[in-house]
Chains A and B, each alone.
Chain A
């Protein structure tokens, strides 16, 4: 066993998760609302209709509130890297430095510059330049997200780097490989388009409230039409990129895919679980059924994972214990290689200390053979490589079910809005009213799938979270955890109350 207090690791994880989930309330709204504001303003420029200006200014105000409350909350994650995750932070510094620096430059120059024009520039710069600035804020916000998601994609699929034992760092060898890492590409496209979808649902929620209250009816209807079109297009894009992201998960993180589907025993022609209740007593390697009840769509999981019906999809048991027939190396075999890599790294360290250059070079040559399995050398049991299947399975299915529901909601709103009978559909408006909340649930579920699904890894296959953490006292992490709970709750109350006040005032109060 490694000399780390597991409750410390879990408190550090909980603190990071809390901050990331809080941060992720604001980010998707910023990504999507910025584009919606750009659409509204473009329509205003094209039509010259002052009502579109009023609509633009109203949603821009809500965008501004969200931006102001959310801004810089991501920096807290960076604080935590340096304090709670110092081993990890040191080792990835060379990889993350470039993307995060680029993010800072983009955020500063594109967002900060044009943000001022967007809010201060009404009637002070030309209409065209104002609209251009709004588009630049939208594009800049989304480009900022590229870099942080590139960093996250690298953690899920570490490419374009080499481990340098001299500096004890993963060092960038191929910047293009890091940027165009397929996991990062689909992570960005899936995440940003889901932000567009969430923001469209947010517009639907507030507009539905106005329609239910019989206030600002024209503004609400117009907003709904634009948001429904954007949401509908985004839904298709989310589904497409989600499928591609799942394919990449199957290639790079098959254990995560097995957990997402509750698949313990690998199958040829595996079906996708449409709905099901997991057997919570099920453990890897035992003979219990994985489900108490399940409905599967035949062959779909094989198609999703390998683009080939009838192909083999490994389950948790295959990945943990290996499957020779299907050429799947088990975690138990990888652990042996990882332990060799770790022993050679320790020999290298010892030889360097003794100034034995020949011994160090020999140790390094041996280390290179098994270095790709380094992280497995830290695992105590093969089963430690399995994430929480119930959490990942349920989060994945919540996300998929909601993701399938949203285009139906958008289509219904668009249809009745264009038909001019939306205000008569009293059954539909409450659905619109809660749709933002459902969007929030889908957003958070997506991140739970991505992050809980890759446990126990901080860096896939190379560094488990228990090695990434700093050996601090658990109490200090607990104290800051509860401080964050308090600070975040206060900020959230501030955001909600300011936003509710502004919504209650309506479009004339920008």
Chain B
């Protein structure tokens, strides 16, 4: 079991070491993930309902309020 894990580890380690173009691609992937999760998600795309309401009940009430507003205008 340990030997198999070691072989898998060596497979990935050597694979990453031997990369040429792959290194550039990994840099782009990592940069992209940092921009997406550490900048966009954190500062620009908070989950509106999770940020503004504490419980699912409050969230459901808010959405119900939003979707039934039109009923008053229809009357």
List chain A positions with a Cβ less than 8 A from chain B.
Answer: 1-3, 61, 64-65, 68-69, 71-72, 75-76, 79-80, 82-83, 86-87, 89-91, 116, 119-121, 124, 165-169, 339, 342-343, 345-346, 349, 377-378, 463, 467, 470-472, 476, 479-480, 483, 487, 491, 494, 498, 502, 510
Q: Is the CB of B70 within 8 A of A467?
A: yes
7 contacts between A and B (CB under 8 A): A69-B28, A75-B36, A91-B63, A345-B68, A349-B65, A472-B48, A480-B40
* Residue from A168, A339, A476 in contact with B67 in the complex, judged by beta carbons closer than 8 Å: A168
Q: Is the CB of A343 within 8 A of B71?
A: yes
Which residue in chain B gives the minimum CB-CB distance to A89? B49
Task: Given contacts A64-B21, A90-B59, A90-B63, list 7 more A-B pairs with CB under 8 A.
Answer: A2-B70, A68-B26, A68-B29, A119-B15, A120-B11, A480-B45, A483-B40
Q: B47 to chain A: closest CB distance in Å?
A: 4
Q: In the complex, which of the residues B15, B40, B60, B74 has the most CB atoms of chain A within 10 Å of its own CB atom?
A: B74
List chain B positions with a Cβ less than 8 A from chain A.
Answer: 11-12, 14-16, 18, 21-22, 24-26, 28-29, 32-33, 35-36, 40-41, 44-50, 56, 59-60, 63-75
Q: Is the CB of A61 within 8 A of B71?
A: no
Q: Is the CB of B74 within 8 A of A168?
A: no
Chain B residue contacts of A168, Cβ below 8 A: 60, 63-64, 67
Q: Is the CB of B21 within 8 A of A339?
A: no
Chain A residue contacts of B29, Cβ below 8 A: 68, 71-72
Bound-state Cα–Cα, A8 to B72, Å: 22
Q: Is the CB of B24 within 8 A of A1?
A: no
Bound-state Cα–Cα, A377 to B73, Å: 11
Q: A351 to chain B: closest CB distance in Å?
A: 12
Q: Is the CB of A72 within 8 A of B66?
A: no
Q: A224 to chain B: closest CB distance in Å?
A: 24
Q: Is the CB of B46 within 8 A of A83?
A: yes
Which residue in chain B gives the minimum CB-CB distance to A470? B48
CB within 8 Å for A342 and B71 given contacts A76-B40, A86-B48, A90-B49: yes
Chain B residue contacts of A86, Cβ below 8 A: 47-49, 63
Chain B residue contacts of A82, Cβ below 8 A: 45-50
Chain B residue contacts of A83, Cβ below 8 A: 44-48
Q: A483 to chain B: closest CB distance in Å?
A: 7
Chain A residue contacts of B41, Cβ below 8 A: 79
The 8 tightest CB contacts between A and B, nearest first, are: A120-B15, A346-B71, A82-B47, A68-B25, A79-B45, A86-B48, A346-B68, A168-B60
Q: A371 to chain B: closest CB distance in Å?
A: 13
Bound-state Cα–Cα, A356 to B16, Å: 65
Q: Is the CB of B64 within 8 A of A349?
A: yes
Q: A474 to chain B: closest CB distance in Å?
A: 14
Q: Is the CB of A345 within 8 A of B67?
A: yes
Q: A68 to chain B: closest CB distance in Å?
A: 4
Q: A496 to chain B: closest CB distance in Å?
A: 13
Q: B3 to chain A: closest CB distance in Å?
A: 16
Which residue in chain A gives the minimum CB-CB distance to B60? A168
Which residue in chain A gives the minimum CB-CB distance to B65? A349
Q: Is the CB of A87 within 8 A of B63?
A: yes
Q: Is the CB of A467 within 8 A of B66?
A: yes
Q: A19 to chain B: closest CB distance in Å?
A: 11
